[in-house]
A and B are shown apart, each in its own frame.
Chain A
């Protein structure tokens, strides 16, 4: 079983649409994250949740809204998609908040046309 799984792996959509990316971890971890990797491979954190509570919210447009129905899931919803949102989005999880090893999913490549 994949420890951190994201769906879909690829997402192609038109500008202005709303889309969601789902993430699930089966490691029993308390903390989950979303990172964005741009076209130059630069990775930057967007959000982190610990036991369904928002811990980190970097400077991300309001069009991005994370939702954590339970501690094993952290979904990312994006409204009114823009060309600049095209990137690879990675979900990760760690045992607890604090300095722990973060285990990453395989990534979701989002292409906005």
Chain B
């Protein structure tokens, strides 16, 4: 079975702090994809990143960075120098496997609040 765990329900930080959102996944498949989506207070779901299981290189995009470690089945997301606009619910998701590769399995989300 596939599963995504985001153990941090809510995180509060003050602007300019760095924050890491944890994501641990379970899958028996050797080929799979991991995703992060952002859901701001306005409610839409915004795609942030996709990573395949064969690419363990860390990725950086501006203040955002992702650390993928297959050894610990984790795909953590770090925001450097957080800003109030980063306040949102962040979802980690998993897709892949022998069947239903279209299906995104979401974690329960982490609500990030960034205070000025």
Give me the interface of A with B, judged by CB distance under 8 Å. 31, 33, 35, 40-45, 48, 50, 55-56, 58, 88, 90, 92, 94, 97-107, 109
Kindly state the separation between the CA atoms of A31 and B103 in the bound complex, as whole angstroms: 11
Kindly state the separation between the CA atoms of A41 and B6 in the bound complex, as whole angstroms: 13
Taking CB atoms, residues of chain A closer than 8 Å to B39 are: 41
Closest A residue to B95 by CB, please name it: A99
Q: Which of A33, A43, A99 contacts B33 (CB 8 A)?
A: A99
B116 at the interface (CB under 8 A from A): no
Give the shortest distance, in Å, between A91 (CB) and chain B (any CB).
10
- Jot down 12 A-B pairs with beta carbons below 8 A, ordered by A: A31-B102, A45-B102, A45-B104, A55-B100, A58-B103, A97-B102, A99-B96, A101-B35, A101-B50, A106-B42, A107-B43, A109-B43
Q: Give the B interface residue count (CB, 8 A).
A: 25
Contact yes or no, A98 B101, CB < 8 A: yes
Give the shortest distance, in Å, between B39 (CB) and chain A (any CB).
8
Give the shortest distance, in Å, between B100 (CB) and chain A (any CB).
6
Give the shortest distance, in Å, between B55 (CB) and chain A (any CB).
13
Closest A residue to B108 by CB, please name it: A42
B1-38 CB contacts (< 8 Å) to partner A: 32-33, 35, 37
Taking CB atoms, residues of chain A closer than 8 Å to B44 are: 104-107
Closest B residue to A105 by CB, please name it: B44
Give the shortest distance, in Å, between A54 (CB) and chain B (any CB).
11
Taking CB atoms, residues of chain A closer than 8 Å to B91 are: 43
Taking CB atoms, residues of chain A closer than 8 Å to B106 are: 42-44
B43-73 CB contacts (< 8 Å) to partner A: 43-47, 50, 52
Contact yes or no, B45 A45, CB < 8 A: no
Kindly state the separation between the CA atoms of A23 and B35 in the bound complex, as whole angstroms: 23
- Decide yes or no: A99 and B101 within 8 Å by CB, A40-B108, A41-B109, A43-B106 being known contacts: yes
